[in-house]
Structure 1
Amino acid sequence: MTKQSGLGNAAWMASLALGFPGAALAQGSNAPQAGDALLLPPVDVEATQPPNTLQRAAPVNRLPGSVQETPQTINVIPREVLEQQNVTTLEQALRNVPGITMSIGEGNGGVNGDQFRIRGFNAQNDIYVDGLREFGAYTRDAFTYEDVSVLKGPSGFALGTGTVGGGVAVGTRLPHLGNSYSGVATGGMGPYARGTLDLNQQIGETTALRLNLMGQSSKLVDREDVDSQRWGIAPSIAFGLGTNTRFTLHYLHYEYDNATDAGVPVVTVPGSTIGRPATEYGLSRSQWYGASTDRDKVTVDQVTALLSHDVNDWLTLSNDIRVGFYDRDFAYSPVSCSTACVNALVSGGDAAISYQGGYNPYSQSSWSVQDVATATARFTTGPLRHELVGGLDVWREEVDRTGYQYSPARQAGTLRGSQADIDLTLGAASNTRETNTTAFGLFLSERMWLTPELSLIGGLRWTRYQVDYTAGTPGAAPSTTIDADVSVVDPRASIVFEPTKNQTYYFTYSTSSTPPGSYFTTFPAAVNQYDPDLDPERNTLYELGAKIGLFDGRLGLYGALYQIEKENAAETDAATGLISLTSDKQRNQGIEIGLTGRVTPAWTINANYTAMDSETTQSETAANVGKRVAYVPEHAASLWTTYDLNRGQPWNLTLGGGITWRSQVYLNAANTAEAPANFAFDALISHQINDNLRLQVNGYNLTDALNYEAVFGNRVVPSAGRTVLVSLAASF
């Protein structure tokens, strides 16, 4: 059973805040009225989160209330599902959310790691943990995760710049009242070995400690020489649990040493006009083009402090701050297949391949700090109830990166050969890049109830975004210097109708902005496309939706019609490589429906489907107008369901299974390269041995389908083949 964290208790208790004396609670149409006595229930450390994820708190405190009350599509992957699927990375968790694709990254820009596209739009800077932006491009482990949520659509008010398709919000495991001790040991095909510990100890009436540990050594099935070694430790302490003032201090140290995987080339065979992965034409999906020195070595250190104070029965103040340090050494091998190589591929022969597109290694160090201060007030003025949220968001990131050449120069490989036993030697540093980014934002939002059922929401965020960028050759004067200073305003407006506590109908308008220079730290190739006269990219969401609780709220049903418009996107002239237009426009519109919670006490389900109609509506390249937006599938779906047999009895089983599916996606704006459809079937069988021990077997990609877990313009990464893992979990 998942215990409610201290942070969860705090958010839950804060949501009970009253309006002014004699006023109604600004929480919903069924709130107590003036004169009603409010009794705070005791904190129950054994209480579970509601299986209907619509009833959970929204994932960032700038969006007060529950997911049900928030007029925006929010997908939640609860801890119960993370544990049942034995999720170990953020990318694995997000397979439960349709409409998200994973990008390989350009490499030389340092963008590899967790690079997601939400509804087809770049979200590489849009990952948030406990409401704070997660800086740095690296592969995140899920050993501290309580849940993972995805906010769909431009969300500038809540999250700041970027967030074109939305944002990823992670909640971590923080201390709670009461004691709990658990651990999981997993082994299986690959080979694969992983162990985790989660220990919580109450040390005072309102104080608790928590410690999460993780270690893993593994290789991917059917991806030759793609291995991973990683470990992490995350201690935390919380004070004032269950009181008006709560403070949590959390530290994370995380390291990994992974083989990098640049994937296989996308090729256009004779007689075809569409490029497809070489593995579609007979190349083994285990083919890996890396050398033994192709590694991604990362060290992360973060300190997070979360403070929340209920000033009185109508006002709550919070201040959250995180300081992080990130070190990374990276090298990998993106390959290209020439015409002679393609001819050899289709004939079953072998030929030379070349390495290109940023294969030179680099070393990168960065640090960041962010502070978000938020005030939430609930009060009445005459017959009207109000919920006012305001605050400031300040952050700074500094990134220093040094690139190297190989000495001697790297030699060409072969299409079906291996260089796994080759050690490449670094030469002298060949380039340096320094990027300093500062952002200052002010946000304010008001929700006003015209009647107990009908409310209006209006708000905006103003952000000043500054970037200082310097690049050049070591020992020489800088060859590139950029100083950008842009201010943007992002409004949002919603109308919400709640005839009962289990019904929400809404229309939302929301925007986000991406200033020029936003991707310098994670995609330095963007420097070559920079023009100080360009306007920020502007992204607008229109969404009409409904969220309904069924079976006394045990099951949640939601659906939405949406349209996202992206304007002022930079367009690179195909002939000169220069930015010549600022009016490129893209549109993605579609429908999303989902089901979450318990159909019966023994049957749980989390199902989601989306259909997307994307289009480039205006472009400098006339031939691209009317084409689908790259990386956007027309259809995507996910399903995970479990059924308990004889729960609480000696002979018990939990049977589960699910699918993840997306249709074909194009890899470029011209729609001349594609990645085929993905389909994976996973399954679970679990037995509760006694009150303390559970045996679990997970099977992944049981049909052994050839899928692609990450895509790029000219390369794709094949997914692992059929994999079976066995876990023994203990809890006390």
Structure 2
Amino acid sequence: MNKHHPDTSRLRLRRCIAAAALGITLTAALPAQAEPVQLNIPAQPLASALSALGSQANLQIIYGQDTVKGIRSHGVSGTMEPEEALRRLLEGTNIQYELDGNNVTLTSAGNDAALEMEAATIVGQAYSSASPMDGYVAKRASVGSKTDAALIETPTSVSVVTRDQIEAQQPKTVAQALRYTPGVNAELAGPQFVTDQLTIRGFQMGTGRMLRDGTRTFLPDFLGWDAPEPYGLERIEVLRGASSVLYGVSDPGGQINLVSKRPTTTPLHEVQLQAGNLDYKQGAFDLSDALDEEGIWSYRVTGVFREGDAQTDHITNRRQYIAPAISFRPSNDTEFTVLAEYQKQTGNFANPLPASGTVFRDPRGRLDRDTYVGDTRYDHMTNEKTSLGYVFEHRFDDIWTVRQNLRYSYYRQDSSELAVLSPHFLDPSQYMRYFDQREGDGRLFTVDTQAQADFATWDIQHTALVGFDYNNGKFDQQQALDIVAEPFDIFRPVYGQPLTFLPFSTADYEQKLSQTGVYAQDQMKIDNWVFVLGGRYDWTSDQRDDRTPQTQKDEKFSGRAGVVYLFENGLAPYASYSESFLPTIGNTPDGSQLDPTIGKQYEVGLKYEPNDYNAMYTIAAFDLTRENLVEFLPLGGVRQDGEVRSKGIELEARAEVLQGLNLIGSYTWNDVEVTESNTGTEGNTPFRVPEHMASLWADYLVQGGALEGLRIGGGARYVGSTYGDSANSFKVDSYTVVDALVSYQLGRLDSSLDGVEVALNASNLFDEEYVAGCFSNMGCQYGQQRTVFGTVTYNW
């Protein structure tokens, strides 16, 4: 053991106390890594420099936040022993260290109780973008690079919704969890619990194209009725902008990566009960621990049962969710984690309403938010999802690391629903409806294999990545679409009556999708400069067997380039260019195959990571164009002349302003315009895309006194006006809603209640009635009414 302090025994004791307070076990440390390693750590805040040292030298570093607060390091570069690098980073400070194997403990000189009195921070090998973390300010993420990269060094816009934020705000869908994220219109279809519908930078993104632990879900539209369970997530990472160089087929607006909860080697036991208005009830549990004394084997199992009424009459949503996982970590260099998941969702989609009576006042009045246009005699929906996979990582040496993520998923859907079609041709005051019946299933296999090399050439530190991924899916569906003969009076609905169905269309088809991609990326550090270059080549195949069988194959190269400069005061300006592509099946009138739609984005921005408190601020300006959009011609056929341009500015602030006081703020200006079209929409704005959005959330946990353990919080969300159809024939008003939180740790009152917390959450506290968005004059959906629910959580 190497020492650099006056009193070894006291520091050992403080270190054990800190480890116990954090709930970590520092066992099975590797032998001290005395051999020299190549390092390139620019001058920067000491906390960031320590994080870089831990990553590059395979060290785990523990320190109190006040120990490094406001201190900058001089930086180190070259080949040297890790301890020598640590000495140089701490040079001129009043900080002592103890090095034991690969574990480092830092304390301020003369402050023997430092780690006992303050919250400790761990950086280095034990911290990654998939690890649990405290607070709302994430400093690392994988979605922007496929490596465990610091956000300050990533030349693109990335937001992270942490586990602590999810627990505080208690979202029931991924869309709700993204309410306070810039660039994301999270609830454009109102309160839906069977699917997530949202836009990123003006482009729609469905659940079927989200990532799970870095791998694609890759669902076709008809099986996209999937709503991942946020209680089963460790974090949600949002990459805004084109990203095919990392993930292949993708929407131009960005990517959402859902990071699963993983086993911990320390005891984690949580049970939770919730109840609220709309007859809402939920029970949940989250259990994790080591299975042996060495922590080589560990497990986690997470489960949810939820039942509650939708704000739309006659719809009750039920969810059963369970996610077991087991990890094998024979050393700090190797991890193999098996992740399984089963989810069953029953209920129904809250079908849209006409603009007359929602956006506009109908002569007969205004439609209530709970208006139901279906019929319980015919409506039902069941979605089931089962998945099994693993994440594997092994570090061979100081240079080479390999990873592989693999997942097999099975989806099943059975649904039928009645929805409004148009005003009735005999009586325009009443409506025609259609009856949509679907039954389908799908199987999806995905695998992503990567090799990462960390090395130096002269004064350039490289993090090079090469990889191969493969996705293969087979999906089957049977669908029948009928017109309902009887007129429907939406203001005075009558349910349970016999209906006459007039067959309109049927479909019975099979779809096979596959994607193969190879990619390479290099993140280069030269003094304070960070450069990122990447390229990828994809081969895709889409085969559909129905009344008109089609097979389409595409191949496409995607590129990316970016640069960041790291100033010593924490500022980091950056610029980047990136591309995306999305295959389109079909043919033009001359018989030629449709080309993929492509996205091209230019972005510049500024990130700021202060030296003296825990925060991250970002401002980004972007110009994103989507080309080769398919347009349906009035006399039949299609053309690929469409183009949409999205440009804007996004601001985000995430900060722990004071101890216990958290702040999240965002603002979005997004100007989206159809720049090329042959259908008369040139110059228009796509529907359900606001020009302005803003949000602010703050909460405070009282640190002492009679109210210690009390947390109060609240937020406000503003979404600007949107157009209600592609012709821009009408507008939907803007809206502002307020959310609130109050919680209390009962253990502050009585030690026998340690671990028990009660909370009360309210969404849309003042019960603002508003239309969330429309896609036509028959397609408008109300926003979420006021919801209030209480939570009792017990941790032990």
For this structure pair, what is the TM-score category when the shorter chain's length is used for normalisation? 0.7 to 0.9
Query: 2:172 pairs with 88, 95, 112, which one?
Result: 88
Provide the rounded CA distance (Å) in 2 between the counterparts of 1:656 and 1:195.
24
Query: 1:491 pairs with 549, 555, 559, which one?
Result: 559
String of CA shifts for 1:132-157, please: whole Å, max 9, x gaps.
11244122221201111211011111
Query: Offset of 1:454 from its aligned partner?
Result: 1.2
Query: Offset of 1:684 from its aligned partner?
Result: 0.4
User: Is the contact made by 1:18 and 1:25 (CA closer than 8 Å) also made in structure 2?
Assistant: no
User: Which ranges of structure 2 fall in alignment gaps of 5 or more residues?
Assistant: 1-18, 43-51, 54-73, 84-98, 105-121, 748-753
Q: TM-score, normalised by structure 2?
A: 0.80
Query: 1:152 pairs with 218, 240, 245, which one?
Result: 240
Matched, 1:368 2:444: yes
Matched, 1:220 2:295: no
RMSD across aligned C-alpha pairs, in angstroms?
3.5
Alignment match, 1:331 = 416
C-alpha distance 676-506 of structure 1, shift in aligned 2 (>3 A): same
Q: Secondary structure at the match of 1:95?
A: coil
Query: 1:41 pairs with 103, 111, 114, which one?
Result: 103
User: Is the contact made by 1:89 and 1:142 (CA closer than 8 Å) also made in structure 2?
Assistant: yes
Q: Which amino acid aligns with 2:432?
A: S
Provide the rounded CA distance (Å) in 2 between the counterparts of 1:165 and 1:281.
38
Matched, 1:415 2:498: no
Identity over the aligned pairs, expressed in percent? 21
User: Is the contact made by 1:260 and 1:290 (CA closer than 8 Å) also made in structure 2?
Assistant: no
Query: Offset of 1:163 from its aligned partner?
Result: 2.5
Query: Offset of 1:704 from its aligned partner?
Result: 1.0
Query: Offset of 1:121 from its aligned partner?
Result: 0.9
Alignment match, 2:382 = 297
Q: Secondary structure at the match of 1:506?
A: strand
Alignment match, 2:198 = 116
Query: 1:211 pairs with 273, 278, 301, which one?
Result: 301
Provide the rounded CA distance (Å) in 1 between the counterparts of 2:589 and 2:493.
36
Alignment match, 1:130 = 213
Provide the rounded CA distance (Å) in 2 between the counterparts of 1:539 and 1:213.
39
Q: Which amino acid aligns with 1:586?
A: V
Alignment match, 2:432 = 354
Query: Offset of 1:706 from its aligned partner?
Result: 1.5
Q: In terms of mean alpha carbon deviation, does 722-731 or 378-387 score higher?
A: 378-387
Query: Offset of 1:113 from its aligned partner?
Result: 2.1
Matched, 1:556 2:645: no
Matched, 1:590 2:672: no
String of CA shifts for 1:670-702, please: whole Å, max 9, x gaps.
211433223221100111101310010011111
C-alpha distance 426-243 of structure 1, shift in aligned 2 (>3 A): farther
Matched, 1:615 2:673: yes
User: Is the contact made by 1:156 and 1:511 (CA closer than 8 Å) also made in structure 2?
Assistant: yes
String of CA shifts for 1:375-430, please: whole Å, max 9, x gaps.
11111112222121110110011110011356x95633212133554688999994
Query: Offset of 1:112 from its aligned partner?
Result: 7.4
C-alpha distance 704-96 of structure 1, shift in aligned 2 (>3 A): same
C-alpha distance 49-461 of structure 1, shift in aligned 2 (>3 A): same
C-alpha distance 331-96 of structure 1, shift in aligned 2 (>3 A): farther
Alignment match, 1:347 = none
String of CA shifts for 1:250-296, please: whole Å, max 9, x gaps.
11011011122112112499xxxxx7597996111211111113222
Query: Offset of 1:528 from its aligned partner?
Result: 11
Matched, 1:717 2:781: yes
Alignment match, 1:200 = 288
C-alpha distance 18-412 of structure 1, shift in aligned 2 (>3 A): farther
C-alpha distance 653-342 of structure 1, shift in aligned 2 (>3 A): farther
Q: Which amino acid aligns with 1:362?
A: R
Provide the rounded CA distance (Å) in 2 between the counterparts of 1:178 and 1:260.
40
Query: Offset of 1:225 from its aligned partner?
Result: 1.9
Q: TM-score, normalised by structure 1?
A: 0.86
User: Is the contact made by 1:624 and 1:670 (CA closer than 8 Å) also made in structure 2?
Assistant: yes
C-alpha distance 424-252 of structure 1, shift in aligned 2 (>3 A): farther
For residues 164-563 of structure 1, the aligned pairs below 5 Å read: 164-204=252-292, 205=294, 206-221=296-311, 223-240=312-329, 243-267=332-356, 282-292=366-376, 293-338=378-423, 351-356=429-434, 359-404=435-480, 411-421=486-496, 430-449=506-525, 451-471=526-546, 479-500=547-568, 502-517=570-585, 532-550=592-610, 552-563=612-623
Provide the rounded CA distance (Å) in 1 between the counterparts of 2:134 and 2:427.
54
Provide the rounded CA distance (Å) in 2 between the counterparts of 1:426 and 1:371.
45
Query: Offset of 1:189 from its aligned partner?
Result: 0.5
Alignment match, 2:723 = 666
String of CA shifts for 1:214-253, please: whole Å, max 9, x gaps.
00110134x2222201111111000107621100001101
Say how many residue pairs are matched. 685
String of CA shifts for 1:578-631, please: whole Å, max 9, x gaps.
213x2321111110001102010121011111101111111113x422222333
Provide the rounded CA distance (Å) in 2 between the counterparts of 1:530 and 1:398.
30
User: Which ranges of structure 1 fall in alignment gaps of 5 or more residues?
Assistant: 106-110, 270-274, 344-350, 472-478, 518-525
Q: Secondary structure at the match of 1:439?
A: strand
User: Is the contact made by 2:535 and 2:560 (CA closer than 8 Å) also made in structure 1?
Assistant: yes
Alignment match, 1:576 = 635
Provide the rounded CA distance (Å) in 2 between the counterparts of 1:167 and 1:721.
29
Higher RCO, Cα 8 Å, sep 6+:
1
Provide the rounded CA distance (Å) in 2 between the counterparts of 1:116 and 1:80.
23
Q: Which amino acid aligns with 1:317?
A: V
User: Is the contact made by 1:364 and 1:401 (CA closer than 8 Å) also made in structure 2?
Assistant: yes
User: Is the contact made by 1:59 and 1:170 (CA closer than 8 Å) also made in structure 2?
Assistant: no
Provide the rounded CA distance (Å) in 1 between the counterparts of 2:408 and 2:588.
30
C-alpha distance 241-547 of structure 1, shift in aligned 2 (>3 A): farther
Q: Secondary structure at the match of 2:245?
A: helix
Q: Secondary structure at the match of 1:91?
A: helix
Q: Which amino acid aligns with 1:87?
A: P
